[in-house]
């Protein structure tokens, strides 16, 4: 399900939307850099679309792409905030859930036997 056209379109839309936000920010209020928040949201959406088109499982791609950018943004906010380390909680939960969702969607758990295997000499 790889589509380079979709990836290019998502990247172009992200670039144009980010440039527009930067222009509006510089044209209206240069004292505060508020454009980073919508650019972060656009990046989450673009990463979701790009990773979802690259993976065979769309929902897993949205989870990994969008969630990854979201967690990176939270870690950056936590580092620049300086009050306390709180971003490891959502990051840890996202990592554990990502492992679970990946295992379920890629069918890694299908190989685990749920009952004892039958011996060749046993009859049902």
Each residue's pLDDT tens digit, 23-74: 999 999 888 888 889 999 999 999 988 888 887 778 888 888 899 999 999 9
Q: What is the pLDDT of residue 118?
A: 61
pLDDT at 105 over 80: no
Rounded Cα–Cα distance for residues 66 and 68 (Å): 5
- Cβ pair 35, 22 in contact under 8 A: yes
* Average pLDDT over every residue of 71-99: 88
pLDDT band at residue 5 using 50, 70 and 90 as cut-offs: confident
pLDDT of residue 119: 60
DSSP 3-state of 9: helix
65 burial via Cβ count (<10 Å: 0-12, 13-18, 19+): buried
Residue 95 phi, psi (nearest 5): -65, -45
Q: Is the pLDDT of residue 16 over 90?
A: yes
Decide: residue 48, CB within 10 A, 0-12 exposed, 13-18 middle, 19+ buried: buried
Helices (H), 4-57: 4-28, 36-54
Q: Residue 24: its pLDDT value, please?
A: 94
Residue 50: what pLDDT? 86
């Amino acid at each position: 399900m790889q589509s380079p056209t979709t990836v290019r379109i998502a990247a172009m839309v992200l670039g144009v939307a980010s440039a527009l936000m930067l222009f509006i920010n510089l044209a209206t209020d240069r004292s505060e850099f508020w454009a980073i928040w919508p650019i972060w949201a656009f990046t989450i959406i673009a990463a979701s679309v790009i990773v979802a088109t690259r993976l065979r499982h769309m929902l897993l791609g949205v989870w990994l792409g969008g969630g990854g950018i979201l967690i990176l943004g939270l870690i950056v906010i936590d580092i620049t905030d300086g009050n306390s380390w709180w971003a490891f909680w959502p990051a840890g939960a996202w990592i554990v859930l990502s492992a679970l969702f990946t295992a379920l969607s890629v069918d890694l758990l299908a190989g685990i036997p749920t009952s004892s295997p039958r011996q060749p000499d046993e009859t049902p």
